[in-house]
């Protein structure tokens, strides 16, 4: 990975574990609308496409708008109460920043909730650029979000690395022509991630940190 100047991160399932918060808001909404609550694995597999797409398969079309309002109102509180950083996320971000890397976030989560997470967890200051799908025409797996980040930061794609946890992250990275590492343990099973043939599959952020420690950063310490 020598030559990398920019590291772009997905948010949910990569840096942040917000699954409990999502599950809480999802099942609150289902119960309020008299719909069937769903189990942890069903919800986990549905995360990553944005909150509208999270609710759509389980909500009648005529109730989707109301469901989305209920979900978002509840989610403002559940995010703060139930979200946490994954182990080594803080260490990794600190290390990368100290070595002079540019850092960015590319998330399908709506901007409002992405910034709530980043500020609440104390990591907003690490990032030079945050782009969410609701700022663009298309979300991941379309490459638009990654293309927008490298454009804004003036970094060539050959000097960028994308880190995510889902099949759609691997697909977005490949379509953008940006080297991609996927972390297991998020919304997509490891077998599905490997089938996408990303640059590398890591079992956790600690492994990613070890990789970066082996190479010189853009600015030597």
Any idea what the CATH number is for the domain that residue 31 is in? 1.10.150
Residues 136 and 193 both lie in one domain: yes
Range of the domain at 75: 19-82
Tell me which residue of 193, 195, 215 sits closest to 203, measured CA to CA: 193
Residues 98 and 184 both lie in one domain: yes
**1 within some domain:** no
Q: How far apart are CA 190 and CA 68, in angstroms?
A: 30
DSSP string, 150-168: HHHHT--GGGEEEEESSHH
**180 within some domain:** yes
pLDDT value for 91: 97
171-200 burial code (b ≥16 CB/10 A, e <16) = bbbbebebbbbbbbbbbbeeeebeebebee
Pairing type for strands 16-17 and 84-85 reads antiparallel
Residues 202 and 112 both lie in one domain: yes
**221 within some domain:** no
Q: How far apart are CA 27 and CA 198, in angstroms?
A: 33
pLDDT value for 219: 67
What are 50's two structure tokens? 């944005």
Residues 120 and 55 both lie in one domain: no
Q: Mind listing the pLDDT tens digit for each residue in 6-23? A: 999 999 999 999 999 999
Residue 179 pLDDT greater than 60, yes or no: yes
Query: Region 75-92: what's the mean pLDDT?
Result: 95
Q: How far apart are CA 170 and CA 94, in angstroms?
A: 25
Residues 70 and 116 both lie in one domain: no
Residues 88 and 68 both lie in one domain: no
Identify the CATH number of the domain in which residue 104 sits. 3.40.50.1000
Residues 119 and 63 both lie in one domain: no
Residues 165 and 175 both lie in one domain: yes
Residues 168 and 200 both lie in one domain: yes
What is the length of the chain?
A: 221
Own/partner pairs for 202-209, CB < 8 Å, 24+ apart?
204/86, 204/87, 204/88, 205/15, 205/86, 205/87, 205/88, 205/89, 205/91, 205/92, 206/87, 206/88, 208/88, 208/92, 208/163, 208/181, 208/183, 209/88, 209/91, 209/92, 209/95
Residues 41 and 69 both lie in one domain: yes
Query: Region 138-150: what's the mean pLDDT?
Result: 97
Report the number of distinct structural domains present in the chain.
2
Q: Mind listing the pLDDT tens digit for each residue in 185-215? A: 888 888 999 999 999 999 999 999 999 999 8
Tell me which residue of 53, 59, 23, 52 sits closest to 38, measured CA to CA: 23
Percent of the chain with pLDDT over 90: 88
Residues 126 and 182 both lie in one domain: yes
Last residue of a domain, one of 38, 62, 82: 82
Residues 72 and 102 both lie in one domain: no
Pairing type for strands 16-17 and 6-9 reads unpaired
């Amino acid at each position: 990975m020598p030559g990398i100047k920019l590291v772009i991160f997905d948010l949910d399932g990569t840096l942040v574990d917000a699954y409990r918060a999502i599950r809480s808001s999802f099942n609150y909404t289902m119960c309020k609308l008299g719909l069937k609550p769903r189990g942890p694995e069903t919800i986990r597999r549905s995360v990553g496409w944005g909150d509208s797409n999270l609710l759509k398969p389980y909500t009648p079309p005529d109730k989707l708008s109301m469901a989305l309002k209920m979900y978002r109102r509840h989610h403002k509180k559940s995010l703060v109460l139930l979200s946490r950083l994954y182990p080594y996320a803080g260490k990794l971000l600190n290390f990368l920043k100290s070595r002079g890397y540019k850092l960015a976030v590319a998330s399908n989560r709506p901007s409002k909730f992405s910034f709530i997470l980043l500020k609440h967890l104390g990591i907003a200051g690490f990032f030079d650029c945050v782009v969410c799908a609701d700022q663009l025409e298309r979300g991941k797996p379309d490459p638009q979000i990654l293309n927008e980040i490298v454009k804004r930061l003036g970094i060539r794609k050959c000097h960028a690395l994308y880190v995510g946890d889902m099949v759609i992250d691997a697909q977005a990275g490949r379509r953008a022509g940006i080297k991609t590492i996927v972390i297991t343990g998020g919304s997509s099973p490891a077998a599905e991630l490997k089938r996408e043939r990303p640059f590398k599959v890591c079992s956790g952020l600690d492994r990613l940190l070890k990789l970066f420690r082996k190479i010189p950063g853009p600015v030597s310490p």
